[in-house]
């Protein structure tokens, strides 16, 4: 899915039998509901393709988590999903593939490259929320973001933060090593539009 799909929080339509279903992106406000089952599904699908055989295996090993995710993303009760999956197995696999595609920001997210050192304080979700709030977002906006939009905004805010610090470091270095006239010239270049 592209950035505009993610940023606008759109959904994708799927047919399951005679039902027209909208598959929603996961949102931050109910992270506690979708994250545990999504974690099991993501771990199972790691380094696997999204083939029908893999989906059959996923459903047999993690059926409860898969159904819970489908219910959360579609608003359809689990018992209705079970009934529809029995009648239209292929349609249910299309629903599952769509759920994974719509929420690829989570399911295709790479693992962090660096490990937390022992004794070092772990970063929490509140740290990430506060970082976005300090970057100009409101708390209620952050909580209504889809997971994909949240991650994209967080990466953008981190980039701006790092760029600002690089600029500050360059200004400090220029101030230390330049004569007065050279530094004034440097400042004038920074203030150009």
- Span 167-190, pLDDT tens digits: 887 777 777 776 777 777 777 777
Q: Please, what is the angle between helix 147-177 and helix 180-190, to 10°?
A: 160
Residue 42 · residue 119 · CB < 8 Å:
no
pLDDT value for 143: 75
Alpha helices in the chain (DSSP H): 3-8, 31-45, 52-74, 78-87, 89-102, 104-107, 125-134, 139-144, 147-177, 180-190
Residue 70 to residues 1, 168, 192, Cα–Cα distance (Å): 18, 47, 53
Residue 147 · residue 27 · CB < 8 Å:
yes
User: Mean pLDDT in the chain?
Assistant: 85
Task: Give the pTM.
Answer: 0.70
pLDDT value for 37: 96
Please check the confidence at residue 16 and state whether its pLDDT lies above 70: yes
pLDDT value for 53: 94
Hey, what are 8's tokens? Answer: 């606008």
Please check the confidence at residue 191 and state whether its pLDDT lies above 80: no
Residue 108 to residues 2, 55, 183, Cα–Cα distance (Å): 14, 16, 47
Q: Using alpha carbons, select from 51, 81, 48, 86 the residue that is nearest to residue 66.
A: 81
Residue recorded with tokens 């600029």 = 167
Residue recorded with tokens 């771990």 = 43
| 28-58 residue pLDDT tens | 888 899 999 999 999 999 999 999 999 999 9
What are the boundaries of each domain within the chain? 3-107, 125-190
pLDDT value for 127: 75
pLDDT value for 102: 94
Average pLDDT rounded to a whole number, residues 117-126: 65
Please check the confidence at residue 7 and state whether its pLDDT lies above 70: yes
- HSE (CB half, 13 Å, CA atoms) of 5? 13
Hey, what are 139's tokens? Answer: 């708390």
Nearby residues of 75 by Cβ (< 8 Å), 6 or more positions away: 22, 24
């Amino acid at each position: 899915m592209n950035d505009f799909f993610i940023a606008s929080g759109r959904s994708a339509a799927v047919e399951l039998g005679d039902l027209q279903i909208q598959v929603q992106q996961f949102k931050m406000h109910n992270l506690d509901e979708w994250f545990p089952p999504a974690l099991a599904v993501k771990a199972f699908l790691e380094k696997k393709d999204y083939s029908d055989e893999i989906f059959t295996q996923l459903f047999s090993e993690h059926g409860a988590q898969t159904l819970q995710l489908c219910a959360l993303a579609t608003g359809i009760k689990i018992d209705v999903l079970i009934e529809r999956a029995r009648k239209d197995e292929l349609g249910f696999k299309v629903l599952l593939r769509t759920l994974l595609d719509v929420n690829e920001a989570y399911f295709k997210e790479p693992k962090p490259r660096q490990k937390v050192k022992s004794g070092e304080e772990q970063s929490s979700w509140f740290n990430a929320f506060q970082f976005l709030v300090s970057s100009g977002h409101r708390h209620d906006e952050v909580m209504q973001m889809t997971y994909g939009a949240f991650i994209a905004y967080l990466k953008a805010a981190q980039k701006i933060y790092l760029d600002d610090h690089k600029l500050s470091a360059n200004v400090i270095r220029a101030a230390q090593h330049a004569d007065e006239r050279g530094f004034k010239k440097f400042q004038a270049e920074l203030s150009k539009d």
